[in-house]
Amino acid sequence: MKASIKYMFLLMIPVIFIGMILISCEKKDGGGTPVIHYIRITDPEKADSLLTAAFMGDLIVIVGENLGGAREIWFNDQEAYLTPTYITDETILVNVPSNTPKVITNQIKIIFADGYELLHDFTIDIPGPELYSIKCEYVADGGTVELTGDYFFDPTTVIFPGNLEAEISTRTKTELEVIVPDGATTGKIKIRTTFGEVESDFLFRDNRNIILDFDTYFHELWTAPVIYADSAPDPAPCSGNYVNIISDEVGSWDWENYLSIQYWAENSAKGDVPLATGLVNDLIFKFEANVPIEWHDVRMEIYMTIYGNGHGRDAQPPPSHARWMPWIDEPYITDGWITVSIPLSDFMFDKNDPEDNEQGSRPIEDLSVLTNLTMMVFGPTSSSPFHPVKICIDNVRIVPSTVD
């Protein structure tokens, strides 16, 4: 009998040993084989909203079993940061990495404490590039263009009109500095990444409906002086000649010719034609500006009047003013040339509207009769002593707010 028991025990040893191995393989840290059931968003009220994809940076919940031993989690080839307190046997809370992958697997890989790896199909939605703005629309060949947007992931390609690829000198996720290639023309700028392409909703060197460029189209020359590009001026021009509004000091309501730009249609080659056509809400008043010294609290008034009816603020019918006051929060200075954009719907002030009136009482009623233009540093000031002003302006135009 004892011999039989001993023989049976010896037979059971391999079975027990194999069973222990199988149990060990299943449990993985003592809880069984890790499994992912589904992935959801973190909002408890939307817990039934299951995910098969997410954007970079999104916080997600991985729901399953035996997940407590997770030590690493990878989305494509990018490792996510794991917070131990956000890991339980049933769930893992984790942010999708914000870095762009170089190898796309469309899988999540979880590595556990014992080396076990769990794969789960999951797509990271990586946005294509977005282009919001350009610092200055007029930059010469070889100059630096500054672009602002998002999702400028490496590799990024910038294409200028003329199908010319630009050299990128600085790149972040939201900003690009690129060198304008030789031979660039007027048109849209394109940006490409691995994940998509975008075209600008502005035109580089926008030459539509130029009113004043001080090369071909001039203002009344007894007003602010033209600075000629071939005179090696400071600041350097952005595109040929420009005009310079300059004074050692500007006081309240100083009406000085050199503080204004006057365009009179009757003295121009264009004659009696409107400054722009179209709907006011669809148009933008644009120009390039360079403000190399601090500009303080005297605004620039911009207004349009009818043909042959003078140029002053007292013209009839009373003009609709826009007020350009970039110094409203602090003294204003630019780092080189910029493009200024003022919606034509902002031409809404009467000359007698109070300073604190933000709504205006005189919107443009009939754009088709407006042929003359004034841009003038003119208004109240609280400064004592008065401050100097130097504002350089080029390429005054009114253009549609969208481009085809």
pLDDT in tens, 244-293: 999 999 988 888 999 999 999 998 888 899 999 999 999 999 999 999 99
* pLDDT recorded at residue 30: 47
Q: Who wins on pLDDT, 61 or 20?
A: 61
DSSP 268-324: SSS-S--S--S-GGGEEEEEEEE--S-B-S-PEEEEEEETTS-SSTT-SSPPPEEEE
The mean pLDDT of 339-367, rounded to a whole number, is 92
* pLDDT recorded at residue 168: 98
What band does 311 get if pLDDT is binned at 50, 70 and 90?
low
What band does 11 get if pLDDT is binned at 50, 70 and 90?
very low
Quick check: pTM over 0.85? no
Instruction: Quote the Cα angle for 335-286-159, to 5°.
Output: 70
pLDDT at 120 over 60: yes
* pLDDT recorded at residue 5: 38
Q: With CA atoms as reference, report the closest residue to 332 among 291, 299, 300.
A: 291
pLDDT at 99 over 60: yes
The mean pLDDT of 372-389, rounded to a whole number, is 87
Domains annotated on the chain, with CATH: 35-125 (2.60.40.10), 130-199 (2.60.40.10), 210-400 (2.60.120)
What band does 318 get if pLDDT is binned at 50, 70 and 90?
confident
- Element (H or E) spanning 3, and its range? helix 2-27
Q: With CA atoms as reference, report the closest residue to 38 among 54, 67, 61, 68.
A: 61
Average pLDDT, the chain: 89
Per-residue HEC secondary structure of 181-244 comes to CCCCCCECCEEEECCEEEECCCCECCCCCEEECCCCCCCCCCCCCEECHHHCCCCCCCCCCEEE
- Rounded CA separation 38/175 (Å): 37
Q: With CA atoms as reference, report the closest residue to 389 among 246, 185, 209.
A: 246
What band does 25 get if pLDDT is binned at 50, 70 and 90?
very low
* pLDDT recorded at residue 404: 81
pLDDT at 28 over 60: no
What band does 309 get if pLDDT is binned at 50, 70 and 90?
low
* pLDDT recorded at residue 51: 94
Lowest mean pLDDT among 193-197, 264-268, 352-356: 352-356
Phi, psi of 210 (to 5 degrees): -70, 125
Q: With CA atoms as reference, report the closest residue to 134 among 123, 146, 125.
A: 146
* pLDDT recorded at residue 46: 73
Name residue 72's beta-bridge partners: 111
Lowest mean pLDDT among 57-61, 159-163, 274-278, 355-359: 355-359
The mean pLDDT of 135-160, rounded to a whole number, is 96
* pLDDT recorded at residue 314: 80
The mean pLDDT of 222-226, rounded to a whole number, is 95
* pLDDT recorded at residue 31: 64
Q: Who wins on pLDDT, 154 or 17?
A: 154
pLDDT in tens, 225-255: 999 999 999 999 999 999 999 999 998 888 8
Residue % of the chain over a pLDDT of 90: 74
Q: 99 CB contacts (<8 Å, ≥6 apart)?
A: 56, 78
* pLDDT recorded at residue 4: 41
Q: 192 CB contacts (<8 Å, ≥6 apart)?
A: 129, 156, 157, 158, 159
* pLDDT recorded at residue 60: 96
- Rounded CA separation 174/159 (Å): 17
Both tokens of 321, joined, read: 């003013």
pLDDT at 337 over 80: yes
pLDDT at 7 over 60: no
* pLDDT recorded at residue 210: 97
